Amino acid sequence: MKIEKFLKWIQDKLLNYPDINISTVKMFVDKFYSCLSEKERERKPIKLIIQIITELTLKQITIDSFVKEIVIENLTEQLNNIKDDNNEV
């Protein structure tokens, strides 16, 4: 029960803090899961919670990557506009 409670805490609390790096949470959960005994791993609620956390972190990593790409594209466009403006002067 303590393991389940801990994983629910991660899911409910830790994943909702904007300053927590999602890839760090995933790494932590993966390491945590590898430390569980075989019997603990087979418990259905634990497997389900770990699967949910893993899926959420993977989605967040994908979203973060997408946002970074957009920011890079926008900054590149702004830089090119500045260069063009300087060339015209």
Type of residue numbered 11: Q
| Joined tokens for residue 4 | 């389940």
| Domain count across the chain | 1
Residue 10 to residue 25: CA distance in whole angstroms: 8
Question: Angle, to 10 degrees, between the axis of helix 44-88 and the axis of helix 22-35?
Answer: 160
Range of the domain at 49: 2-88
Per-residue pLDDT of the chain (89 residues; tens, 9 = 90+): 577 777 777 767 766 666 667 677 777 777 877 887 888 777 767 777 777 777 777 777 777 778 888 889 999 999 888 888 877 76
Q: pTM, whole model, 2 decimals?
A: 0.41
